[in-house]
Amino acid sequence: MKMKDYADNKRRAKPMELSPGDQVLVKKKPDNKFFNPEPFQIVDVKGNQVTAENSDGRITRNSTFFHGIPQQTQVSTEVLPSQPVVVNDNFQPEYETPEHLEDSISPTYSRAQDYVSPTYPHTYSEVLRSPPPVQRSPLPVQSSPLALRRSTRERRPPIRFGYDEYDD
């Protein structure tokens, strides 16, 4: 029994939860939906062979072809006494604006506000007014053509092919 438990654990096998009388959906060829929307009722279970039927007929398939429908729980229709809900129309949220954001609150929202960190020494409006100067120098233009990147050594045919004397 120890080897069976090991193999089941390795294969992540689960015990079959289908029993006669359960409502199930049956797997079909994946045209648009994976399961037939009409439920079947299980009639018989023998090992992993399951027989189910509905108004269209009776089918026998492997248990992997069936998907159990959870049992619907009965909803209580009793009305529980509860306290009436009081709605306050004059509700004002109480919160404080952090000090580092007081200067940076603007009437229009900008995505750049997301990138200003709270520990940054400047406020958002100061950053927009005075961006840091950018020093750009033009690239020098090369007037000489680029050298070939091939080897410049003198190439000769190998001696093993019978070329003892080189023709220059």
pLDDT per residue as tens, the chain (168 positions): 799 999 999 999 888 888 898 899 888 877 777 777 888 999 999 988 999 999 889 999 998 888 888 876 545 555 555 666 666 667 666 666 666 565 555 555 555 555 555 555 556 666 566 666 677 777 666 666 666 677 778 877 777 877 666 555
Residues in Cβ contact with 35 at an 8 Å cutoff, skipping those fewer than 6 apart: 25, 26, 27, 28, 67
Distance CA 61, CA 43 (A): 12
Best CA proximity match to 46, nearest among 36, 60, 32, 58: 60
Q: Is 0.85 surpassed by the pTM of this model? A: no
**What pLDDT, on the 0 to 100 scale, is given for residue 3?**
93
Distance CA 110, CA 104 (A): 11
Instruction: Yes or no: say if 26 and 18 are a contact pair by the CB < 8 Å rule.
Output: no
* 6 CB-side CA count, 13 A: 3
Which domains are seen in the chain, by residue range? 2-68 (2.30.30.140)
